[in-house]
Amino acid sequence: MKAASVKKGMRGALPIILGGVPIGMAHGLLTRQMGFAIELPLFLSLFVFAGSSQFIAVSMLQAGAAPLAVIGTTFVVNFRHLLMSASIAPRLKSWTFLQRFLMGCTLTDETFAVHSANFAAGGADTTEALSLNFTLYLMWTLSVVSGFQMGNLIERPEVWGLDFALPAMFLGLLLPICTRRPAVAAALCGGAVSLSLHRLGFGSWAAFTGALAGATAGAFVADGNPKKEAKPVE
């Protein structure tokens, strides 16, 4: 391991930490408000390490959802990582088994975005990439724990708008990927199905069903090339 690469990876993690720390703190804080002990957000951060799933799991658990519904929703919410993992796999051929395993465990939306950009640019330094991932992992866990500890200072997080951190994060992740018609169709259909199920009282399975329905609907929508379509038919 080269110290310079470790440092470079840590520096690369900085902009992502900036976005992640408020979300992690909000997660810790809200979990405490819901009456859970620190073990829950701590072990979720250490073992699951997936921001949106952690938020969702805690709110589902508080609402009294069945364990299977929580695990099923987590599976669907994180299923996108399968595609990300498959997409960077060919780039890691020279990595050892352990290195690939560690990369997989610390794969998130953010690390995927950074690494696929780096790999495309030619730089695939193993030490630097893993250093970036583990810096994020550590900072995420620290921010969740410190948010939990701050819970007794901030009595009503909703006054500070902190309960909006999760919806805002979904919005911030969703909008940039809705650039093409199938993605927009998937989002519209997934949202509509999920919302309908919620209003009918089937909230526990709404995200799961909405995701499957939305992706299926989107997959049948033609990925029209906007430039081609703008041309008049001759």
Partner 1 sequence: MNETLWLVVAGMTAVTVLPRVLPILLLSGWRLPRFAERWLALIAPAVLSALLLPELLPDAGAPLFSASNTFLWASVPAFLAAWRTKSLFGTVAAGIVSAALLRAILTSGFLS
Residue 4 or 161: the one with the smaller Cβ distance to partner 1 is 161
Query: How many Å apart are CA 35 and CA 176, to the nearest integer?
Result: 35
Residue 152 or 179: the one with the smaller Cβ distance to partner 1 is 179
Q: What is the contact mask toward partner 1 in residues 52 to 91, using x (rule: CB under 8 A)?
A: xx--xx---x-----xx-xx--xxxxxxxxxxxxx-xxx-
Distance of closest approach, residue 224 Cβ to partner 1, in angstroms? 14
Which region among 3-11, 116-124, 137-145, 203-211 touches partner 1 (by CB under 8 A)?
203-211
Residue 165 touches partner 1, criterion: CB under 8 A: yes
Residue 170 touches partner 1, criterion: CB under 8 A: yes
Residue 43 touches partner 1, criterion: CB under 8 A: yes
Residue 216 touches partner 1, criterion: CB under 8 A: yes
Q: How far is CA 208 from the centre of its chain?
A: 15
Residues 6+ apart with CB under 8 A from 141: 24, 42, 45, 46
Question: Within 90-119, which residues bind partner 1 (CB under 8 A)?
Answer: 90, 92-93, 97, 100-101, 103-105, 107, 110
What sections of the chain are H helices per DSSP? Answer: 3-33, 39-43, 51-62, 67-78, 80-88, 97-105, 109-120, 126-150, 165-174, 181-200, 206-219, 226-230
Task: Please pick, from the candidates 10, 13, 29, 40, the single residue that binds partner 1 as defined by CB under 8 A.
Answer: 40
Question: Within 171-200, which residues bind partner 1 (CB under 8 A)?
Answer: 171-178, 182-184, 186-195, 198-200
Residue 79 or 123: the one with the smaller Cβ distance to partner 1 is 79
- Asked if residue 157 lies in contact with residue 33, where contact means CB atoms within 8 angstroms, the answer is yes
- Asked if residue 181 lies in contact with residue 221, where contact means CB atoms within 8 angstroms, the answer is yes
SS3 content of the chain, % helix, strand, coil (to 5): 80, 0, 20
